Amino acid sequence: MQRLWAPPSGLACGDGDPMGRRFIVCDGAELARLWARIGSSESEELTWVPREDETRARPPGFHALPGGLSADAITKLDPKSGDEFALISDEGPFVRAAVSAVHAAAPDAPVLVMSDRLDDDDLPEHPCLRRTGLRTQIRDDVDHEFAHLGNLHRVVELRELLGARDRIGILLQPDPDPDGIAAGLGLRAVLGRKSPTAPLISFGAITRPENQAMVQALGIDVRVVTPDELDEFDALALVDVQPNVFGESPPARVLSVEAVIDHHPERTGYDSIFKDIRVSYGATASMLIEYLEAAGLEIRPKLATALLYGIKSDTQLLGRDTSAADMRAFATVHQRHSPALLRRIERPALPWDGLRALGRALARTKIDEGIHLLVLGRVREDVIPQVAELGLQAEHTEWAIAAGTVGSNLVFSVRNVGYVRAAGEVVRAVVEGLGVGGGHRSMAKGIIPLKAFREVYGRADQKTISTALFEAFVKAIHEPKE
Ligand SMILES: [Mn+2]
């Protein structure tokens, strides 16, 4: 422990900036002892001001401020530029006297007031003062630790329940999304399994191009099963889903399962031995990250990338329905994820014919009224959203629309700069009476059957599509419904 009155030169560390000292000023022996028990840092000089009945108290490591609390006593500490003060008290008069004493002796020194009872209104004006609690700091950590313990308990329960089962089916919703897939991988890691004994299964294949990109980039296998094939499994764990999602009358096996881990509103009408449903969470992946952390398991880059992408896509990049828990979980996996893998998921490679279609569309491109419209002709569906992303990068673009023919449909993706009308609303207005569409603030997708398009516009060649879409978008963007 640092001796009080040690010369400042002895505290400088190396040739760089000398590390400032922290002067801790405690009001009374009780707070000084609490501070000593928490443990002080090397750079702290511990001082205290005895109360009337405390003249014989000796808080370990603390030295009484000579002559009590005054500007003189603070001056004798010889504060230098870079030093900081912490004033520890629950009494308004003590804190006010201490703040003004420090301010008089060291006008530039930052002041941290640690008090569990005082408010900002109880404190005097000071150019650089921060207030926080002392016991409440520890209290918050205690609550946090109990939350970890709760998660560890869930992991222990899951392992007791599923550890001895030969084959565990990790059942996701039909057409699984990134959150479900990532949470399924997380559960598998929690159980210490590999895919042969704990496969990810679903009643419907992955159809969305961006979700296919995720399983391709990360080498994840999701097996499509029939209800009869569920008999192969000794246990079923539902992740990011509850049985009611499997249709009007789900197979009997899924109405009585071993585990459900989900963030959707709790449904009834089924039994599960283990149940963890947290509606306030933006993603099931966040819950699994907490399990993994509580169990002290390493989260490898591939798993971290999947979990990060799961949270990102379920919360629209921490926008919609995000809780503080999602933010913490996101931060945890953000440190561990692989940016290269994430890029492969989010920016899948453009196929050659997609690139050529883009080249042709760019040759004709123009930006009018902030709208950048790229009509691609016949392309693979996953090319369309990528071209819309690219289109948004053009100068003066507020709206980028990429349209292409996929099968017997006209499919278009829309991106905008974010501060304009919501993309989802605009697309719904554009497709009204013709097809389907929707989306969010800054991204949306629409599908119009070519047959319906021809009925209205006569033909469906590139020029007609281009003119019709442009006019429909201008109308929808600039003439919102009442
Ligand atoms: Mn989800």
CATH number of the domain enclosing 367? 3.10.310.40
CA distance 255 to 198: 20
Under the banding of pLDDT at 50, 70 and 90, the label for residue 8 is very low
* Confidence at residue 317, expressed as pLDDT on a 0 to 100 scale: 77
In a domain, 11, yes or no: no
Distance 142 CA to ligand 1 centre (A): 29
In a domain, 5, yes or no: no
CATH number of the domain bearing residue 84: 3.40.50
* Confidence at residue 50, expressed as pLDDT on a 0 to 100 scale: 94
* Confidence at residue 249, expressed as pLDDT on a 0 to 100 scale: 83
Statement to judge: residues 361 and 273 lie in one domain? no
Q: Quickly tell me which residue has 């009374």 as its tokens.
A: 28
Statement to judge: residues 332 and 464 lie in one domain? no
Average pLDDT on 334-350 reads 90
Name which residue leads in pLDDT, 214 or 56: 214
Over residues 166-192, the pLDDT tens digits come to 999 999 999 999 999 999 999 999 999
Are 220 and 214 within 8 A, CB to CB?
Answer: yes
pLDDT higher than threshold 70 for residue 480: no
Distance 338 CA to ligand 1 centre (A): 22
**Among residues of the chain, what percentage have pLDDT more than 90?**
74
Distance 351 CA to ligand 1 centre (A): 30
Distance 399 CA to ligand 1 centre (A): 29
Statement to judge: residues 125 and 161 lie in one domain? no
Statement to judge: residues 423 and 452 lie in one domain? yes
* Confidence at residue 250, expressed as pLDDT on a 0 to 100 scale: 87
Distance 254 CA to ligand 1 centre (A): 19
The count of structural domains within the chain is: 3
Statement to judge: residues 179 and 59 lie in one domain? no
In a domain, 285, yes or no: yes
Over residues 305-319, the pLDDT tens digits come to 999 999 999 998 788
Distance 240 CA to ligand 1 centre (A): 5
Average pLDDT on 297-309 reads 97
Distance 264 CA to ligand 1 centre (A): 7
Distance 186 CA to ligand 1 centre (A): 13
* Confidence at residue 4, expressed as pLDDT on a 0 to 100 scale: 42
How is residue 57 annotated by DSSP? Answer: -
In degrees and rounded to multiples of 5, residue 251 shows phi and psi of -55, 140
Average pLDDT on 440-459 reads 93
Range of the domain at 59: 19-133
* Confidence at residue 12, expressed as pLDDT on a 0 to 100 scale: 41
Statement to judge: residues 213 and 313 lie in one domain? yes
Distance 313 CA to ligand 1 centre (A): 9
DSSP notation for 88-119: E-S-HHHHHHHHHHHHHH-TT--EEEE-SS--
Name the pairing type of β-strands 200-202 and 271-277. unpaired
Distance 38 CA to ligand 1 centre (A): 41
Statement to judge: residues 182 and 302 lie in one domain? yes
In a domain, 6, yes or no: no
CA distance 366 to 394: 10
Statement to judge: residues 242 and 315 lie in one domain? yes
Distance 172 CA to ligand 1 centre (A): 10
* Confidence at residue 481, expressed as pLDDT on a 0 to 100 scale: 55
pLDDT higher than threshold 80 for residue 320: no
Statement to judge: residues 224 and 172 lie in one domain? yes
Statement to judge: residues 214 and 193 lie in one domain? yes
Statement to judge: residues 121 and 162 lie in one domain? no
Closest of 317, 319, 320, 476 to residue 399, by C-alpha? 476
Over residues 197-250, the pLDDT tens digits come to 999 999 999 988 789 989 999 999 999 999 999 999 999 999 999 998 888 888
